[in-house]
Structures are given as structure tokens and as C-alpha cells.
């Protein structure tokens, strides 16, 4: 298994969810055990000695990857969800999406000053979602160690929104 095998298992779906977007569908990759194992290894390994206490995942596909990374690192999992989904007290950040405006919420007690947090998502596109996630975690006083994504859409410049603030790693780069 190598990165080109992973890349071959990411399916481009033209025009989803709106005409001008090519959606990176990772379900073929998730369905392949060896690809899934390799993906989790690639996401988690660089942080093995980083003292990570919580892995935060972004709804929805970040929820698929982040708990596996959390288990690999011996850390807990924290969900960052779309507005109105988390039941307890929340903090919210609004952001611009590649296809619309949205918000992200975290439970106020999900992380705190004693936590070292790794942020995980499937795709970084324009970077707005990542920006909101970073602000939520830091807003609760936690130490954000880094962010890792499976796929970076380099041509959309999301990385520039985060530069100098957090170290972003991506496993598969498209058009960067």
C-alpha cells in the first residue's frame, strides 16, 4: 500500500453537491481495509510522541477518521459539529464554505488548558472550516498541536488561511 494506491481509491464526483464542485468521495478508500489501515497510520504516526490528549474531528467525514486516529494515539475523541446538533452548552464560529456559509460548534467542556489537541478532517478546501475548528479549540484554552487532513485541494489556497498559526499536514495533495 502506498500513497498512489490511496489516491486511486478517492473518487471524483463532478457536480456534487452543486454544479461547480468536484467532490472528493473517500468511501471507496474507507471500504478497503488495507487502505483504511494505511490512511490511519499516515494520519497518526507523526504525532505518536506528541503527547496528544484529544483528537478533534470535523462533521461529517472528519468523524469517520478522527476516532481511529484517536485510538491509534491513545487519545480521546472530540466532535466539532454543525450548529444545533450538540446537546450541551456550545461555542460557535461562523465560516465561509466552498459551497455556502456555515458554522461549527464545540461543547464548552470538550477541551481545556490541560489538553494537547490534534485536529482532523477529510478535506481542506478553502480553509474556512479548518479556521473555525482552530479558533474553537484555542478559544477553550487548549494547545492545538497541529491539523492533519487526508486531502488538500491546494488550488483553493486553504493553507494560506492557516499559515503561521498551525502546522497543517496533508496526505494527498491535489493541484497544489
Residues that bind ligand AMP (CB under 6 A): 21-24, 58, 61, 97-98, 121-130, 158
Of 3 and 18, CB closest to ligand AMP: 18
11 grid coordinates: 473518487
Considering the complex, what minimum distance in angstroms separates the CB of residue 122 from ligand AMP?
5
Cα separations (Å) of 48 from 43, 52, 73, 148, 156?
Answer: 10, 8, 6, 13, 30
Q: Which residues contact 151 (CB under 8 A, 6 or more apart)?
A: 10, 24, 26, 122, 123, 124, 170, 171, 172, 174
Of 92 and 114, CB closest to ligand AMP: 92
Considering the complex, what minimum distance in angstroms separates the CB of residue 72 from ligand AMP?
21
**Residue 14 falls in the annotated catalytic set:** no
Of 51 and 167, CB closest to ligand AMP: 167
| Given 59, 91, 98, 159, the catalytic residue | 98
Q: Does a cis peptide bond (omega within 30 degrees of 0) precede residue 60? A: yes
**Residue 93 falls in the annotated catalytic set:** no
Is the distance from CB of 52 to CB of 75 less than 8 angstroms? yes
Of 105 and 122, CB closest to ligand AMP: 122
What number of other Cβ atoms are within 10 A of residue 18's Cβ?
A: 10
Considering the complex, what minimum distance in angstroms separates the CB of residue 84 from ligand AMP?
17
Considering the complex, what minimum distance in angstroms separates the CB of residue 54 from ligand AMP?
18
The set of catalytic residues is: 61, 98
Amino acid at each position: 500500500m502506498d500513497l498512489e494506491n490511496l489516491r486511486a481509491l478517492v473518487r471524483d464526483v463532478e457536480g456534487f453537491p452543486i454544479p461547480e464542485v468536484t467532490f472528493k468521495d473517500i468511501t471507496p478508500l474507507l471500504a478497503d481495509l488495507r487502505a483504511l489501515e494505511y490512511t490511519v497510520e499516515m494520519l497518526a504516526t507523526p504525532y505518536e510522541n506528541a503527547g496528544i490528549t484529544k483528537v478533534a474531528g470535523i462533521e461529517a467525514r472528519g468523524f469517520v477518521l478522527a476516532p481511529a486516529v484517536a485510538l491509534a494515539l491513545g487519545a480521546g475523541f472530540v466532535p466539532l459539529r454543525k450548529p444545533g446538533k450538540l446537546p450541551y452548552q456550545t461555542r460557535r464560529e461562523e465560516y465561509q464554505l466552498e459551497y455556502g456559509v456555515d458554522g461549527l460548534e464545540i461543547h464548552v467542556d470538550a477541551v481545556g488548558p490541560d489538553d494537547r489537541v490534534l485536529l482532523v478532517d477529510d478535506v481542506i478546501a478553502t480553509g474556512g472550516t479548518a479556521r473555525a475548528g482552530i479558533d474553537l479549540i484555542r478559544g477553550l484554552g487548549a494547545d492545538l498541536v497541529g491539523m492533519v487532513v487526508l486531502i488538500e485541494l491546494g488550488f483553493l489556497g486553504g493553507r494560506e488561511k492557516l499559515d503561521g498559526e498551525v502546522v497543517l499536514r496533508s496526505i494527498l495533495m491535489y493541484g497544489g
